[in-house]
């Protein structure tokens, strides 16, 4: 259950910090930083893929906008524009020597060592912005995209939006996610599904969730303490283009067991089918046809072999020559 040792992973030799490139091993903070003690951070998870036309970041602009939105909710302005963050990411990947990677931008409250403040009040503390990249494989396992995974409904309730805003991708929110994930792993499952405070389906520990019933695609609304996922939005747009009816509605726990298909979406999880929930087989106990259809179209877009819905520009190429060829 231990995480993969970073020494066995390919990492970028550089990290972007507050407008400068520093060595990976120098990307360190003080133990008394506000973020360490009080969890004051917002972050993103983004993927760069090796496409048929060169390395490209998937929906970089949307991810950076969500980072800025999360910071706004927590009054944590990095001081960098969306375009500056996008440009820094592309430059960092270019320097990394990696043709595909996972990208972690993070904005947090640090420590002013000349005039330290150790209380809950965040305002006296400086705001730092970092971007790191490394190679990361399939989050839920190499076989999961086809074979599917077994999950459970968690005993832990998803955080409520008026206590910890679910529209923000904040580090502190993921303490709730860790409880959900640990319980699932210790129970022999790959992942957990959290219910909201009304007992309605919310999301996984780090993924949005979709059901398929009678050809319709069903997902909880954002009001169910759901993070507005970028992959969630991508799947909705792809499904709409394919003529699949989309229903955003509250979902009872029992409806999970009766669905024809269930799958997770997320930057790390991509589109991962769920074959059983609480050891109850979903549909035929394997990846369903709608899930596969959505996967196929999703990965074609990622591979730059088909355009995004409505001609949207979902790929930011690391090499501008590749971008020109793709266009």
Q: Residues, the chain, total?
A: 327
Tokens of 326: 């793709």
Active-site residue, selected from the candidate residues 14, 17, 28, 169: 169
Q: Is 169 a catalytic residue?
A: yes
Give CA–CA dist 206/170, Å, rounded: 12
Tokens of 106: 């993070």
Pairing of strands 216-219, 246-248: parallel
Give CA–CA dist 72/78, Å, rounded: 9
Which residue in 58, 65, 138 sits closest to 308, CA to CA?
58
Give CA–CA dist 183/117, Å, rounded: 35
Please say whether the beta carbons of 139 and 269 come within 8 A.
yes
Give CA–CA dist 38/27, Å, rounded: 20
Which residue in 112, 98, 17 sits closest to 50, CA to CA?
98
Q: Which residues are catalytic?
A: 169
């Amino acid at each position: 259950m231990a995480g993969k040792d970073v020494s066995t992973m390919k990492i970028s030799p550089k990290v972007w910090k507050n407008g400068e490139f520093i060595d990976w091993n120098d990307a360190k903070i003080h133990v008394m930083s506000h973020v360490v003690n009080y969890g004051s951070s917002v972050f993103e998870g983004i993927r760069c893929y090796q496409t048929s036309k060169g390395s490209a970041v998937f929906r970089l602009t949307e991810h950076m906008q969500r980072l800025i939105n999360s910071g706004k909710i927590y009054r944590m302005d990095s001081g960098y524009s969306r375009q500056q963050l996008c440009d820094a990411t592309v430059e960092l990947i270019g320097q990394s020597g990696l043709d595909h990677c996972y990208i972690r931008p993070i904005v947090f409250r640090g420590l002013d060592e000349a005039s330290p403040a150790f209380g809950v009040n965040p305002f006296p503390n400086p705001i730092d912005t970092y971007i790191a990249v490394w190679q990361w494989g399939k989050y839920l396992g190499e076989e999961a995209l086809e074979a599917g995974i077994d999950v459970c409904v968690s005993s832990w309730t998803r955080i409520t939006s008026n206590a910890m805003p679910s529209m923000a991708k904040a580090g502190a929110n993921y303490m709730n996610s860790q409880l959900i994930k640990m319980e699932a792993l210790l129970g022999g499952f790959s992942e957990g599904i959290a219910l909201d405070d009304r007992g309605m389906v919310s999301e996984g520990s780090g993924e949005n969730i979709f059901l398929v019933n009678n050809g319709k695609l069903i997902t909880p609304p954002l009001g169910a303490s759901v993070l507005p996922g970028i992959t969630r939005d991508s799947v909705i747009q792809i499904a709409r283009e394919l003529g699949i009816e989309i229903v955003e509605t509250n979902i009872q726990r029992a409806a999970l067991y009766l669905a024809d298909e269930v799958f997770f979406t997320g930057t790390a999880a991509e589109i991962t089918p769920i074959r059983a929930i609480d050891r109850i087989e979903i549909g035929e106990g394997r990846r369903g046809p709608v899930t596969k259809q959505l996967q196929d179209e999703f990965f074609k877009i990622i591979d730059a072999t088909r355009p995004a819905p409505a001609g949207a520009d979902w790929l930011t190429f690391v090499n501008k020559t590749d971008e020109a060829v793709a266009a």
